[in-house]
Every structure is written in structure tokens, then in C-alpha cells.
Amino acid sequence: MSSRPDLDRRIADWLDGQGVVHASDQFLAATRARLDVSRQRRVFDLGRSDVGMLAGDGRLLRRGRFEWPLTPRLVSVVLVVALVVAAMVIGSMSVGGVLTQRSPLPGARGTIVMTVGSTLVAVDPISGTTRQLAGELPQNDTPFDHVGVEFSPDGKRLLVTPSSGEGVVNLYLANADGGDLRALWPGVDFIGSAWAPDGGKIAALPAAGVNRGVGVNVSGRSLWVYDVESGSFQRYDLGIDIAGIEWRPNHDELLLFVTEEERGAALVRADGTDLRPISIPDGPHAWSADGSTIAYGGGDGRVHLLDIATGADRILTFEGSEGTSEGPTAFSPDGSKLLIKRSFLGRNVAPPGYPYCCREPWVEVVVPAAGGGPATVLGTEEHKSIGGPGGSGMFSPDGKQVLAVYTQDPAGAWMFDPETGKGERQTWWSGGDVMWLPGLAP
């Protein structure tokens, strides 16, 4: 019988052969023709700050390069125009006009935190003002700068998870401002971690059987639970291979995604007891705030609401969900609404300004958690045609707004009213991930 390294070498050899393809002249000509009609996006760099860089089309970007020649003449023209506009605005105020606060929408609460490179930026959702939090996040040597950040639900502490390669991470704990950073378990590799709902504990899955040469078969078989206040921790052997972990809201219990069965999942108490399977796929899902129910998509326009206590699986459809795949991503804080990523299966559109190709769009939709309608589609007609936000949207802590980040034009972070679907681009966004916390410790 062949050894695993030998089997892996044969797989790699076979792939090497499959990867040999020569582009035809016809294909190259067609590609060049498409390139000829496409426009390169110009990017400005207005300073050294990571925050507030503008693209040529007005989008805000994390980092950019100065490309257009800003001649003194051009600068003076821009300044004159800016002064004229400012004078007009002031004039309108003087005759009774009112300057409306463009963004974000009023009523938002809590704090938005944005990762910008290796720094953290806190955003006031009311004023849109930003401040850089102290401290630098630990970096890694991978080409992707993959540093995960997760705040405790109470906003007091920060768990930082830089990758150490091979698919594992190290865990660092810090104050909410990034200060007092320290390794939680120095030298130990983990495959996942999760904050307890009250912020008092951290559950972590230490990696077992890391194959340094191959990087596969990384899984955890034990559960470590760290008590933040006392600094003590307990280890529990679960006896199954686990690839992912999250904490069940409002419960001292964890949801595990099991490696061996691929789509398997299980619940276990935080003391390592009462391990039991649960029938949900490893895909988009949302917990109700009280942790009693989990919503997941069936891929067929339907959403399942699984009652954890009874095992009852309630199936819902929504206004406009026929012919779609519904991926629930969040309950509103009061549990009355669901935020859903709706994909339109097999329905291709040609976005405006994107003449050469079609794509299958998806949108963020807010629907009643009880099913039916109305289904409120978030965004403008442009949003509806480009394929949705780059990640999942999120409710504000008070449920009055939804924040979503779009990676294609009209790119940027957008804040929407879930009742009307109308929203505005957020001027503070400068790239990176965003989180919306109920609060952030000073």
C-alpha cells in the first residue's frame, strides 16, 4: 500500500499534467478586444493616512497610488471650485436652508470597528467620525496578511488571530483599544475560537496532527475553554474531528462543525458534556438572539427555522423567493426580521457599464422572520445588478440600520434603512472588514 506522501505526490503529478493548456490565438484576440474597451480605474492617494483615500470615481479605498498628474494649475482650479461650492452651501444656510447629515442615518447606536491593514479604526455611527485605536495588530509572514479580529460581545476585549501558516492560527488577547496585547497560549496552534456571549470565556480548538509539509488533516479533537477573568482554562476531549466552532447565543453551549462528515454539525455544552448532532449544513446560517432557533437556507428558495429544544424544523418562503437561493445571515436584534442573501439562480444580468459579460446577481433582502412579505430589497438599482455586497450585511445593535460592504461599483460601505431599503454610502469607509458592536470600552 502506498504511503500518504506518495499518494499526494501522484495527485500533484496528475494535476501538473492537467494544467497544461495553450491559449488559442482566437481566445487571446477576444481577450485583447475586451481589454481594449475596458477602462482602468484611476486611483488617487491623498496622503499617508490609511483612512479616506479616494478613487478616481469617488469610491473610498484603503490604499491607493497617486497616478494622475495633480499640477499646481489643476490644484488651484479644484480649490476655487471647492470655495465656490462652500460659499453656496453657507449661503443656502443663511436663508433658512438646513444642512442634512448625509451619513450615516440617524438612530444608529453602538460603535463600528473597521480593520485597516494592521490597525483598528473605531467609527461613531452617528457622526461618522473615526479614531484610530492604539496598538498594532501582530502580523504574519503570509502574502495575504490574514489577521483575524474578534471583539468580545461586551466590547471590552479583543481576540486577535494572526495565521501562523499551515491553516492554523495563534491567539492573542488585548484590551479593546489593542493595548496590552499578549499571547493567550504561546506556541500553541489553533483552528478556531469563539467568544462566549457574555464575554467571560473564550472557547478554542487546538490543532491536532498538523502536517507541516502538506498542511492538510488539520483538525481539533479537544475543546479548550479559557476564563478571561481568572486566566484559568479547562480542556475537554471531544473524540471527534472538528473544523469550526461558534458559541450559541444566550447559552453555555457551542456549535461545532465536524470535519469527518463534512456537512455534519453538533452542539456541546461548554464543559464538554452533552455532545449531540444537529442537522444543519455548513453554510450561511443565523442564530436568534435568544439562541433558541437557528435559520439556514435550503438552496431552494426556502429557509429552515430549526428549534433547538424540540428539533422542530419549520420551513418558510418569502415574497419573491421563488427561483432563488435564500441564505439567512442575521436575525434583527428583536427577532422580528431576517437578513437574507438572496441569489437569483440561473438569472443572468448585464450590469450597466459592464457590457461584455453577464452574471448571476444576489441582493441583501430583509424579510419577516415569520415568512411571507414584504421582502425589502436593500440598495439601489445599481446594487441590484452588480451581485450584492462582498460579505454579509449586519444589523445595527438597535436593528434600525443594516450595514453592507460592496466591492464593486458602487463600491463602499453602505448603510440602509431595513424598512425602505434606501441607504447611503458611508464616507468613513476606507476598506477592510467592519464589525458593529453594541459598545466599545474606552
> Smallest gap, in angstroms, from Cβ of residue 230 to another protein?
28
Closest CB to another protein among residues 242, 369: 242
> Smallest gap, in angstroms, from Cβ of residue 31 to another protein?
5
Closest CB to another protein among residues 139, 336: 139
The sheet with strand 130-132 has its strands ordered as 130-132, 119-123, 111-116, 434-437
Decide: helix, strand or coil at residue 75: helix
Cα dihedral: 74, 76, 80, 81 (round 10): 20
Please state, in angstroms and rounded to a whole number, the distance separating the CA atoms of residues 226 and 247.
13
Closest CB to another protein among residues 45, 424: 45
> Smallest gap, in angstroms, from Cβ of residue 244 to another protein?
4
> Smallest gap, in angstroms, from Cβ of residue 434 to another protein?
16
Q: Taking the CB of residue 99, how many other CB atoms lie within 10 A of it?
A: 9
Closest CB to another protein among residues 21, 95: 21
Closest CB to another protein among residues 110, 284: 284
> Smallest gap, in angstroms, from Cβ of residue 207 to another protein?
9
Residue type, 100: T
DSSP 8-state symbol, 63: S
Q: C-alpha grid cell for residue 225? A: 475553554
Closest CB to another protein among residues 154, 241: 241
3-state DSSP of 235-287: EEEEEEEEEEEEECCCCCEEEEEECCCCCCEEEEECCCCCCEEECCCCCCEEE
> Smallest gap, in angstroms, from Cβ of residue 15 to another protein?
4
Please state, in angstroms and rounded to a whole number, the distance separating the CA atoms of residues 203 and 224.
6
Decide: helix, strand or coil at residue 180: coil
Closest CB to another protein among residues 255, 366: 255
The sheet with strand 313-316 has its strands ordered as 285-287, 293-297, 303-307, 313-316
Please state, in angstroms and rounded to a whole number, the distance separating the CA atoms of residues 389 and 407.
6
> Smallest gap, in angstroms, from Cβ of residue 229 to another protein?
27
